[in-house]
Structure 1
Amino acid sequence: MTTTQQEQDVIDLLLVQHREIEALFAEVRGTAGNARKQAFHQLVRLLAVHESAEELIVHPASRYEAGDAVVDTCLREENDAKRELTNLYALGTDAPGFDAMFAAFERTVIAHARREEQQEFPLLRRNVDPAKLRRMAGAVRAAEAFSPTRPHAGCGESAKTMMVAGPPMAIFDRMRDVVRDWHKADKE
C-alpha cells in the first residue's frame, strides 16, 4: 500500500529520507567523474535540507519526549557533520583524500541516523498524537523548501538560528545552484 503525503507522518518521511541518503552514499562510492560529482551534489543538498528541517521541526518537538540529552547529542552530531560536509564540498570529489574522508563521513552520518531511529523516533511515535506527527511531516516539507542547500558550519544548530539565518542562506544557495546548473548545461 502506498502512503500519500497527507497520510505520511514525520517519522515515515524521515525514514524514507534516511534510505535516500544511504542510496546516495552508495552512488557516490560507486561512480566516477561527472556522475560522482552530481551524486555528491544531490547528497549535499538532501543532507542540508534534511538536517535544517530536523533542527527546525523535529528536535524541538523531541525535547519534551526524548529529553535534552538525546536532542543535544543529535544537534552536536549534526553540527559536526556540517563541518565535515563543508570540508568535503570544498575538497571536491576528484581530490586526493576524498575517498577516505568520504568513507569516514558516511560512517558518522549512518551512525547518527541509526541513533535517531533507535532513540528519538520511537519516543515521538509512542508519545505524540498521530495527527500531529502527520502535520509535522508537512512542516518538515515546508521547512525543506526554504532551507539552505549546502551546509553552513559554524552558523549554529538551534532552531532560532535556522529561522533567522536559514532563509537568506537558502536564497543564496539556490541562486548558486541555478548558476552552477546553467554553467553545466551551457558546456554540454
Structure 2
Amino acid sequence: MSDRRIAPELMGENDVVDLLVRQHAMIRDLFDEVEESPAGSRRAEEAFQRLVRLLAVHETAEEEIVHPYVRLVLDDGDEVVDDRLAEEREAKQLLADLERLGTGHPDFSGGLQVLRAAVLAHARAEERHEFSRLREHTGVAERRAMAAGVKAAEALAPTHPHPGTESALKNLLLGGPVALVDRTRDVIRQAMGR
C-alpha cells in the first residue's frame, strides 16, 4: 500500500462520517499489515510508519474539526467528546512508546496488540456514540463542509503522535510548527532509507 493510497487528505469521501469510518477501516488494514510483516523488517517498519502517520493525522483532524462540532450539536456532547479525548490520549502515548521501540524490539509485538485493542475500541466508540449521532443531528451540507475541513486539517497535521495535544486549541497553536518538524523528519528518514 503506497503512501499516496493512504493519504487521508486525498480520499474521495465527501461526507465526514463516511470519510472517518473509511479511515477506521484503513487503520485496521494497516494493523494487519504490520502484524503480518516479519518483525524488524523493512516491510514492517514501512507499514508501521504508514499506520503512525494515518493515526496521527486522523486524530488531529477529529480533535480540530469533529469534536468541537459534536460539543455544539449534541446535548451531551461534552461528555461524549471528553470520553473520546481520554481514549485518544492513551492511544497517542501507546503509539509514541511503540515508535520509540521500533518494530524489531522484542516488546513491539505485545505493545502493538495493546495499541490495536485500544484504537479499535476507540473507533467503535466513536462510530457508535459520536458519528452515528452526528449524522442524525446534521445535514448533508454540514457533513460535506466538515469532510472538507477534516481533509484540510489532515493535510497540515503532525505525522507523529504528540500526547497531550488533544484539544482543538492546542492543535491549532502547536500543530503547524510540530507538523513542520514531523514532516521534515519524515523526508529525512525516507531519504536515508529508514
TM-score, length-scaled by structure 2: 0.90
1:80-119 mapped onto 2 (5 Å cutoff): 80-119=90-129
**Shift in Å at residue 62 of structure 1?**
0.6
1:1-188 mapped onto 2 (5 Å cutoff): 8-32=14-38, 33-66=41-74, 67-154=77-164, 156-184=165-193
Partner letter of residue 23 of structure 1? D
**Shift in Å at residue 7 of structure 1?**
6.4
Runs of 5+ consecutive residues of structure 2 not aligned to the other structure: 1-9
State the secondary structure of the residue aligned to 2:48: helix
Partner letter of residue 27 of structure 1? E
Distance 1:160 1:79 in 2: 15
Work out whether residues 159 and 183 of structure 2, in 8 Å CA contact, stay in contact via their aligned partners in 1.
Answer: yes
Work out whether residues 65 and 123 of structure 1, in 8 Å CA contact, stay in contact via their aligned partners in 2.
Answer: no
Runs of 4+ with deviation above 3 angstroms: 4-7
Work out whether residues 13 and 19 of structure 2, in 8 Å CA contact, stay in contact via their aligned partners in 1.
Answer: no
**Shift in Å at residue 184 of structure 1?**
0.6
Question: What fraction of aligned residue pairs are identical, expressed as a percent?
Answer: 48
Runs of 5+ consecutive residues of structure 1 not aligned to the other structure: none
**Shift in Å at residue 65 of structure 1?**
3.0
**Shift in Å at residue 129 of structure 1?**
1.5
Distance 1:31 1:181 in 2: 19
State the secondary structure of the residue aligned to 1:72: helix
Distance 2:166 2:120 in 1: 19
**Shift in Å at residue 101 of structure 1?**
0.8
C-alpha distance after superposition, 1:68-95 (max 9, x if no partner): 1110000111011111110000010000
**Shift in Å at residue 8 of structure 1?**
1.8
Per mean C-alpha deviation after superposition, the further-off stretch among 4-13 and 66-75 is 4-13
Partner letter of residue 187 of structure 2? V
TM-score, length-scaled by structure 1: 0.93
Distance 1:7 1:43 in 2: 20
Output the aligned Cα RMSD.
Answer: 1.5
**Shift in Å at residue 64 of structure 1?**
2.4
Work out whether residues 6 and 134 of structure 1, in 8 Å CA contact, stay in contact via their aligned partners in 2.
Answer: no
Partner letter of residue 139 of structure 1? G
C-alpha distance after superposition, 1:120-179 (max 9, x if no partner): 01111011121010010000000001100000123x211000001001000000000000
